[in-house]
Amino acid sequence: MGVLQELIKNWVLPALAALLLVAAVQAFSNSRVAVVQGEAAPDFELQDTDGQLQRLADYRGQLVVLNFWGTWCPPCIKELPGLNRFASEHPEVVVLGLAVDSGRGRRLAAEKQRLNISFPVLAAEGSVQSDYGVRVLPTTFLVDEQGLVKEHRVGVVSHRKLSNWVR
């Protein structure tokens, strides 16, 4: 029994501690984004499910919510009703869903319809995800009238949080 205790004490526990440390560092670094409050939101030009090109710069002068999500992402799907509700209650705010690795064209349009999404959905290319530093889905940004990031949230964003952002 003494050998087993020594093995656990000298090898297993330090290995577990190291794994926990690595996991904590990864979780912390994954919650960071490349664009933070007060910085310019990178412009993009992406096609929506109606085939129209959407540019972030076209919305200068308006508040814009950018929600990076995936059709395959359960937390993303969970937050959709709150985003839909927010979009309907705040027509003065542009809400754009940037679908990451979720297909294009008809496939993405079918998913938008299936999920009852009321706001425009754009097929987000990897460069846009990279420009914003999005590593975790969902991730949401609020861009102000001047094109600066006002708020961001890594993980599910609630209707209440979004409403508080625009007060």
Residue 152's φ and ψ, nearest 5 degrees, are: -155, 155
- Order of strands across the sheet with 149-154? 121-124, 93-100, 63-69, 139-143, 149-154
Check whether 9 has a pLDDT greater than 70: no
Asked if residue 36 lies in contact with residue 152, where contact means CB atoms within 8 angstroms, the answer is yes
Residue 41 or 4, more confident: 41
DSSP state of 92: T
Give the predicted TM-score (pTM) of the model: 0.80
Closest CA to 152 of 31, 27, 26, 28: 31
Q: Which CATH superfamily includes the segment(s) 45-165?
A: Glutaredoxin (3.40.30.10)
For the chain, the residue count is: 167
Give the per-residue pLDDT at 21.
47
User: Which residue ranges make up each domain of the chain?
Assistant: 1-30, 45-165
Closest by alpha carbon to 48, among 102, 115, 127, 114?
Answer: 102
Cis peptide before 74 (omega within 30 of 0): no
pLDDT for res 122: 96
Q: What is the CA radius of gyration of the chain?
A: 20
Rounded Cα gap, residues 148 and 16, in angstroms: 42
Contact 129/137 with Cβ under 8 angstroms? no
pLDDT tens across 61-83, in order? Answer: 999 999 999 999 999 999 999 99
pLDDT per residue as tens digits for the range 72-125: 999 999 999 999 999 999 999 999 999 998 777 788 999 999 999 999 999 997
